[in-house]
Structure 1
Amino acid sequence: MVQTFRGPVQPDQLGSTLVHEHVFVGSPELDLNFPHPEWEPDTAVDRAVTALTRLRDLGVRTVVDLTVLGLGRDVARLVPVAERAPVHLIASTGYYTADVLPPFFRTHGPGLLVDGPDPLIEFFLHDIEEGIAGTAVRAGMLKVVTDEEGITEDVARVMTAAAVAAQQTGVPITTHSRPALRNGLDQQAFLQKRGVPLDRVVIGHSGDTEDLTYLRVLMDAGSTIGMDRFGMEHVLPDERRVATVLALLRLGYADRMVLSHDAACFSRVTPPSWRAAHAPHWRFENLPTRVVPMLLAGGATEDELHQMTVVNPARLLTPHPKRTS
């Protein structure tokens, strides 16, 4: 069974799935002390429900929200969205940092001032097995990050905790990667060394590169690649992202790609006014309305699209039992 905001569902009920999205991205301390002028709490839920309802009308049935700790995750705020929206919404756990963790983690953990188990492992397992922040919502995905800073001491700690949680629960891991640095390879090596099967790892943001050799190495090692930033044309135009997917389809990799946007209903990092001016297609509906027609026009088949949007997400999101050597 796959955990969603409204409870567990069978994998075959997920349907067409966007595997890397966000509903609300915030910054709790800033939001508390300096609220963003474009954040409208009285209408935010309604706007999110409208956006997700539009997705349902376009054939999408499931959205994975990868807003984890470090990005202002507030599951209680999303519960009314999930109750009203006619799609499955899946929550995630993990910690979003490319460098250092908050000071709490420097004093809490094995051998530290407040000695004891690593709280990250406890947090991740609690989110997956019991529920997030006092709710009954259980996480269905783990998320980790490496970027220009590399695998720092704190990033390694997050990734190790995610590896432990993935092994104990069977929940998959998705990553934030920087393809220009080819650091998906570092992520694979780190996670594999800690016992995570690479077929349970999605190397995220892989669509930011056109380096087919690099992408094939990732997939040949067993991972799925996230072609998950359609609409982020300030990074790479959609036409070039589509061309990369088509090239990999011709090489037989339909079973190892998933599609998404990394979009949000509201993000403090890139607020609505900025997105409207600089990335107007960076919206949940970009795939069904623009990208899928572009893929079909370029030679992708309906079966290949079904594989990338339905079959692959269902396979990944279905928890696997712990593997033994």
Structure 2
Amino acid sequence: MTTGAVATVRGQRSTADLGRTLMHEHVFAVSAALANDRPELAFPDGRAAAIDAAVARLRQVKDAGIDTIVDVTVFGHDRDIPSLVEINERVDLNIVVATGFYTEDLPSKTFEIRQGLARARGGNFYVDVFVADIVDGIGSTGVHAGIIKCVTGPDGVTRGSKGLLRASAIAARETGVPITTHSDPHTRGGLEQLELFAAEGVDLTRVIIGHSGDTTDTDYLKAVMDTGATIASDRFGYDLPGAASTEERVAVIADLCGQGYADRIVVSHDAMLHTDWLDADYVAQHPNWTPTFIPTEVVPTLREAGVSEADLNQILVTTPARLLAAVTKEHRERT
């Protein structure tokens, strides 16, 4: 039913070779404006040092038993694919990149204006860009996006975010790649996202509702998964106020696995290995916010909580491979 392949920074890979996968990370997020105009803020120790540090940390991730990460840095989140290519040349890890736009409402003025021009001519600029990233590749890098990222926040589906979610749905239907979201589980935002996707004809088994692990409301989480969608407990180690603790996240996953939902759960950290969004003082407040935390600390704790090896393999290997395999055009036309 699927191609069995996914686009990565280093080209097409069989999903059988993805191994243990983290589904929501950020390797390199640097704004072009700061990199060009205030490089001391974008790269406090210099760009070469930032590249070296990212490579070193990704090697630690590989050594900890992770084979693939999904980098969901997109437009509006300061995606930098050339730097990611440079990094991936030095570390033996599969990196799947995303297209989409990171905003809880309106995108950048550039995107908004271009969308207005396209709509006046009967087109959709957002869809065109997302599809081009997937089909044609990103810039001159030769790297193709393998997943689409979209966002809603505490205010839910706003006028601006609705257009981007619809564009994500259309692009997903046209290309067969999955959708992953940023959502607010405290306002049950995943259900609103799924309602829109369903109305747009998206196969909900190809949707990941991000940041679901921030809540312990298992009734909400089961309602999301009962649609066929997957939840992501993807902020392990990032201890935000009001969000579930590591212990609570583990307990929720163990509970859901015990109820038969292991095939609709993925995990990650939402870690940012190098970014000009944050400074060193902020990062120091979150010592566990690193993409080695799950393989070294969380997986053993999940075992102690009663999660079986079969369910751990499902969460870390089988479900990510299923989600990332692009659905063939032939299958899309039959369904």
Q: TM-score, normalised by structure 1?
A: 0.95
Q: Cα distance, 1:109 vs. partner? A: 3.5
**Correspondence for 1:260:** 268
Return closer, same or farther for 1:167/1:44 CA change in 2, 3 Å cut-off: same
* Partner Cα distance (1:272, 1:138) in 2: 32
What is the identity, as a one-letter code, of the residue corresponding to 2:246?
Answer: D
- Distance across 1 between alignment mates of 2:277 and 2:51: 19
Is 2:183–2:189's contact at 8 Å kept on the other side of the alignment? yes
Aligned equivalents of 2:211, 2:123: Cα separation in 1: 32
Q: How far off is 1:163 after superposition?
A: 0.8
Conserved in 1, the CA contact under 8 Å of 2:75 and 2:100? yes
Q: 2:322: which partner in 1?
A: 315
Contact map agreement 2:250 2:298 (CA 8 A) in 1: yes
Structure 2 CA distance for aligned equivalents of residues 171 and 34 of structure 1:
36
Matched, 1:280 2:287: yes
The alpha-carbon distance between structure 1 residues 113 and 160, as it changes in their structure 2 partners (threshold 3 A), is closer
Q: Which position in structure 2 is the counterpart of 1:128?
A: 134
Matched residue pairs, number?
324
Q: Find the counterpart in structure 2 of residue 244 from structure 1.
A: 252
Q: Is the 8 A contact 1:184 1:218 kept in 2?
A: yes
Q: CA deviation at 1:116?
A: 5.4
Contact in 1 for aligned 2:137/2:143 (Cα 8 Å): yes
* 2:14 is the counterpart of 1:6: no
- Counterpart check, 1:213 vs 2:219: yes
Spell out, residue by residue over 1:129-156, the C-alpha distance to the aligned partner (whole angstroms, 9 max, x if none). Answer: 1110221100001000000232122211
Which SS does the other structure have where 2:77 is aligned? coil
Aligned-partner residue type, residue 4 of structure 1: T
- CA RMSD for the aligned pairs? 1.7
Match of 1:292 in 2: 299
In structure 1, distance between residues paired with 2:264 and 2:280: 32
- The 8 Å contact of residues 183 and 212 in structure 2, kept in 1 or not, is answered as yes
**Contact residue 207 and residue 229 of structure 2 kept, 8 A:** yes
Q: CA contact under 8 A between 2:118 and 2:125: conserved in structure 1?
A: no
Q: 1:41 to 1:266 in 2, by over 3 A?
A: same
**Cα drift, residue 180 of structure 1:** 0.4
2:178 corresponds to which residue? 172
Equivalences for residues 1-325 of structure 1 within 5 A: 1-35=5-39, 36=41, 38=44, 40-109=46-115, 115=121, 117-234=123-240, 235-276=243-284, 278-321=285-328, 322-325=332-335
Distance of 2:38 and 2:117 partners within structure 1: 37
By how many angstroms is 1:293 displaced?
1.0
Instruction: Give the residue type in structure 2 aligned to 1:197.
Output: D
Farther-moved stretch of structure 1 (171-180 vs 37-46): 37-46
Flag structure 1 segments of 5+ consecutive residues without an equivalent: none
User: For the residues of structure 2 that align with 1:223 and 1:38, how far apart are their CA atoms?
Assistant: 40
| Identity of matched residues, % | 41
Provide the secondary structure at the position in 1 that maps to 2:115.
coil
Q: Structure 2, unaligned stretches of length 5 or more?
A: none
Distance 2:221 2:46 in 1: 40
Query: Following the alignment from structure 1 to structure 2, what is the Cα–Cα distance between the partners of residues 108 and 284?
Result: 36
SS at match of 1:71: coil
**Larger CA deviation: 135-144 vs 260-269:** 260-269
CA deviations on 1:46-84 (whole Å, 9 max, x unpaired) are 111111111111111001100000011010111111111
Q: Is the 8 A contact 2:76 2:101 kept in 1?
A: yes
> How far apart are the structure 2 equivalents of 1:243 and 1:281?
18
- The one-letter code of the counterpart of 2:297 is R
By how many angstroms is 1:105 displaced?
3.2
